[in-house]
């Protein structure tokens, strides 16, 4: 995956963040979700680039 794909995944990962605020999760868990969702969009392409 190229940097373009990572950017697209990052943009797509912003959509679920909208729904995190609407859940009845604790503030700590909401914070974890807000950081891990975009982080995964960046880390997955990095992992795939090192795989090949």
In whole angstroms, give the CA distance from residue 51 to residue 20: 31
Which residues span the domain enclosing 18? Answer: 3-51
* pLDDT at residue number 26: 93
How many domains in the chain? 1
pLDDT in tens, the chain (52 residues): 556 677 788 888 888 888 998 999 999 999 999 999 888 888 887 887 787 6
pTM of the model: 0.67
Q: Give residue 1's pLDDT.
A: 52
DSSP string spanning 3-50? HHHHHHHHHHHHHHHHHHTTS---HHHHHHHHHHHHHHHHHHHHHHHH
């Amino acid at each position: 995956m190229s940097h373009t794909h990572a950017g697209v995944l990052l943009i797509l990962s912003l959509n679920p963040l909208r729904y995190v605020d609407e859940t009845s999760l604790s503030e700590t868990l909401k914070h974890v979700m807000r950081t891990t969702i975009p982080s995964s969009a960046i880390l997955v392409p990095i992992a795939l680039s090192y795989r090949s």
